[in-house]
């Protein structure tokens, strides 16, 4: 068993070196989009990080910061959940994803309440609503974006710059997985009374309706938020949080090639975190076999299930000390955490889901 596990590890290591070599040979315009971090939300302990400090496009994760600004305005008493905001023609012209705000000469522009705006941002990732929020709170989207960036720095997000309120493609837009974890943590810690909005399963307005893109809600034990994002440049992103037995973890994955592959990756990392906590309390408690080791970040199933090295003895038959579920992470890069190298096509960066021209 031990030798078989070691052999599998050698095969994976060799494959990883091949992928690494190909990555070095990629064109200069290619961007390695994958990044991940797993953090204990209460203690700030980082359980795992992979390229967590590398610059990435946040896509609609940007709307987490937009919502943070809304929640602060509510806290200051500048607005209430019933405050009604009227859209501008600029907001109504934003590309998908959209709530469907419109303007006409006859009726003027649509208006929505602050609470409707919150739900539209969380559930439908509405770009028209993001611009509406920016213009109402900041005067202009440019000024609001500058305020977002300044507030982000105050929160410790030192590597983040927001160029707009929606996450629509802009080469100036930058963040890191670590900064997104900090933002998720801040939303949960600073606004517990509003955090429940990130659990909203669906939202309807007039004839439009949408379902929350965070498919892990109700599917993975303890998951209760918070936001997905996608553009062609960013790949599929997700910041999520989970709570079990008083332990809360934040997991960020950026750069997935599909929503389903990203979701599988996040689920794997969530389970790994709780198995690590269980291992610390009882070294015999963790069930490593439950980790989905045959998943790939690019959404393709591996041809063979990856065998972990023996957890009980080494090649000489000597007992091994209990190890973390994440200790094999680097050995599983090819099978479960394959990074994504893809050219950035600025001209065709759309806000897309897997089947539409929309942003998550």
Per-residue model confidence (pLDDT) at position 224:
95
Which range of residues forms the domain containing residue 127?
Answer: 2-348
Residue 209: its pLDDT value, please? 86
Q: For the chain, what percent of residues have pLDDT higher than 70?
A: 71
- CATH number of 236's domain: 3.40.710.10
* Residue 17 banded pLDDT, cuts 50, 70, 90: very low
Does 360 map to a domain?
A: no
Task: Look at residue 34 and tell me if it is in a domain.
Answer: yes
What are the φ and ψ backbone dihedral angles of 289, each rounded to 5 degrees?
Answer: -65, -15
Q: Do the domain assignments include residue 113?
A: yes
Model-level pTM?
0.77
62 membership: H or E segment, kind and range: helix 62-76
Question: Whose structure tokens read 């929606």?
Answer: 166
Q: What is the pLDDT of residues 156-183, one digit of tens each?
A: 999 999 999 999 999 999 999 999 999 9
The string of DSSP codes covering 143-172 is HHHHHHHHHHHHTT-TT-B-SSSS----TT
Tell me the CA distances in angstroms from 46 to 95, 127, 177, 250, one per residue in order. 37, 32, 12, 9
Residue 98 scores a pLDDT above 50 = yes
Beta strands in the chain (DSSP E): 30-32, 35-40, 46-50, 84-86, 103-104, 108-109, 111-113, 202-205, 208-211, 223-231, 235-244, 247-256, 341-343
pLDDT at residue 11 greater than cutoff 90: no
Span 338-349, average pLDDT:
33
What's the chain's Rg over C-alpha atoms?
A: 21
Assess if residue 358 is contained within a domain. no
Has residue 144 been placed in a domain?
yes
Mean pLDDT of all residues in 223-233: 95
Judge contact between 349 and 169, C-beta under 8 A.
yes
pLDDT of residue 264: 93
Name the token pair of 294. 């045959």
In a domain, 356, yes or no: no
- Token representation of residue 191: 């606004």
pLDDT the model gives residue 12: 32
| Domains identified in the chain, total number | 1
């Amino acid at each position: 068993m031990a030798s078989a596990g070691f052999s599998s590890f050698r095969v994976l290591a060799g494959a990883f070196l091949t992928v690494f070599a190909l990555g070095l040979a990629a064109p200069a315009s290619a961007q390695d989009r994958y990044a991940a971090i797993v953090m204990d939300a209460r203690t700030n302990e980082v359980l795992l990080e992979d390229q967590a400090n590398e610059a990435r496009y946040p896509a609609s994760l940007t709307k987490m910061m937009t919502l943070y600004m809304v929640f602060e305005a509510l806290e200051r008493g500048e607005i209430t959940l019933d405050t009604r905001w009227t859209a501008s023609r600029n907001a109504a012209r934003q590309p998908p994803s959209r709530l469907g705000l419109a303007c006409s000469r006859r009726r003027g522009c649509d208006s929505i309440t602050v609470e409707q705006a919150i739900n539209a941002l969380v559930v439908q990732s509405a770009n028209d609503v993001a611009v509406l929020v920016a213009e109402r709170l900041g005067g202009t989207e440019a000024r609001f974006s500058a305020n977002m960036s300044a507030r982000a720095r105050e929160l410790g997000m030192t590597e983040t710059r927001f160029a707009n309120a929606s996450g629509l493609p802009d080469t100036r837009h930058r963040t890191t997985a670590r900064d997104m974890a900090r933002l998720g943590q801040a939303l949960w810690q600073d606004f517990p009374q509003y955090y429940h909005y990130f659990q909203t399963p669906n939202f309807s307005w007039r004839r439009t309706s949408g379902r929350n893109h965070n498919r892990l809600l109700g599917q993975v034990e303890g998951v209760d938020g918070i936001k997905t994002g996608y553009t062609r440049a960013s790949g599929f992103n997700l910041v999520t949080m989970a709570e079990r037995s008083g332990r809360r973890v934040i997991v960020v994955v950026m750069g997935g090639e599909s929503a389903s592959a990203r979701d599988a990756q996040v689920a794997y990392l969530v389970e790994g975190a709780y198995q690590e906590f269980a291992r610390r309390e009882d070294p015999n408690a963790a069930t490593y076999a439950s980790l989905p080791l045959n998943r790939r970040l690019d959404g393709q199933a591996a041809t063979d299930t990856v065998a972990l090295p023996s957890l009980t003895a080494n090649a000489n038959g000597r007992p091994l000390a209990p190890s973390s579920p994440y200790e094999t992470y680097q050995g599983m890069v090819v099978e479960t955490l394959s990074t994504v190298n893809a050219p950035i096509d600025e001209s065709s960066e759309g806000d897309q889901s897997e089947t539409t021209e929309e942003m998550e």
